């Protein structure tokens, strides 16, 4: 009987934690690097090119390594060699899916960027 109660308690706890994870949006705010065309900011890649800003997840869509380098307008995954254009589209595999595009806002007065995950 105690085992059943403990089992139900564990399942309930997992259900609550899962629901909290689904409902939680992470909001990250930091200074927008206005002078850089490509900027790696932890979990994000900021591309500021041709008067257009895009923000992508830095997680490679192959197996999730953090993309942290660029060369010749290509974002480079250090793990298995995938490359992505500055539009987030893969240009060389093994990754086949584009980088996740993030929602963001830039406060022009303070030059702060807020990214919602």
Return the DSSP state at 25: P
* Binding of residue 98 to ligand FES (CB under 6 A): no
Exactly one of 41, 43, 62, 98 binds ligand FES (CB under 6 A); that residue is 62
Exactly one of 94, 98, 100, 114 binds ligand FES (CB under 6 A); that residue is 94
Closest alpha carbon to 112 in 25, 34, 43: 34
d(CA 83, CA 23): 32
List all residues 6 or more positions away from 74 whose beta carbon is below 8 Å from its beta carbon. 83, 84, 85, 86, 91
* Binding of residue 99 to ligand FES (CB under 6 A): no
* Binding of residue 60 to ligand FES (CB under 6 A): yes
d(CA 68, CA 45): 8
Q: Which stretch binds ligand FES (CB under 6 A): 15-23, 34-42, 60-68, 100-108?
A: 60-68
Radius of gyration over every alpha carbon of the chain, rounded to an integer in angstroms = 19
Please, what is the minimum distance in Å from the beta carbon of residue 10 to ligand FES?
33
Per the document, the length of the chain is 117
* Binding of residue 82 to ligand FES (CB under 6 A): yes
Instruction: Report the interface residues with ligand FES, using CB under 6 A.
Output: 60, 62-65, 77, 79-82, 94-95
């Amino acid at each position: 009987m105690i085992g059943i109660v403990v089992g139900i308690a564990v399942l309930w706890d997992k259900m609550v934690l899962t629901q909290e994870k689904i409902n939680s949006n992470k909001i990250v705010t930091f200074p927008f690097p206005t002078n850089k065309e490509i900027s790696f900011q932890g979990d994000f890649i900021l591309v500021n090119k041709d008067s257009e800003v895009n923000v992508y997840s830095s997680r490679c869509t192959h197996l999730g390594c953090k993309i942290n380098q660029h060369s010749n307008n290509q974002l480079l995954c250090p793990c298995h060699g995938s490359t992505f254009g500055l539009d987030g589209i893969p240009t060389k595999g093994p990754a086949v899916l584009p980088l996740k595009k993030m929602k963001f806002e830039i406060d022009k007065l303070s030059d702060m960027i807020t990214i919602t995950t």
